[in-house]
């Protein structure tokens, strides 16, 4: 029941718009399905640029360039927007 926690200073709508723009511009990779949730290790979030604090849940996303990290809420937006993207190329 921690969904109501409002940690971010920017709104979810703003983040979603930004994620959509970054995905369109190739500044963020589209998430396939590979992500690992674990305890926060102080990594910067790829979506909101904030730090995933110790004690928060950190999502680690594997991508072509290595690994990216995101808060749970940020990951949720990122994942949803990735799925709504038109596929640029055929799958495997």
Stretch that binds Zn ion, among 23-31, 56-64, 71-79, 80-88 (CB under 5 A): 71-79
Position 18 contacts Zn ion (CB under 5 A): no
**Interface characters, 25-64, with Zn ion (x: CB under 5 A):** --------------------x-xx----------------
User: What letter does residue 84 receive in the DSSP assignment?
Assistant: T
28 or 48: CB nearest Zn ion: 48
CB atoms within 10 A of CB 47: 25
The helix/strand/coil state of 69 is strand
Cα 81–chain centre separation: 9
């Amino acid at each position: 029941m921690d969904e109501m926690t409002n940690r971010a200073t920017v709104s979810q709508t703003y983040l979603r718009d930004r994620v959509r723009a970054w995905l369109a511009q190739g500044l963020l990779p589209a998430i396939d399905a590979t992500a690992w949730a674990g305890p926060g290790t102080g990594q910067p979030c790829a979506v909101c640029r904030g730090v995933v604090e110790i004690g928060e849940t950190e999502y680690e996303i594997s991508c072509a360039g290595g690994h990216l990290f995101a808060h749970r809420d940020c990951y949720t937006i990122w994942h949803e927007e990735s799925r709504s993207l038109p596929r640029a190329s055929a799958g495997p």
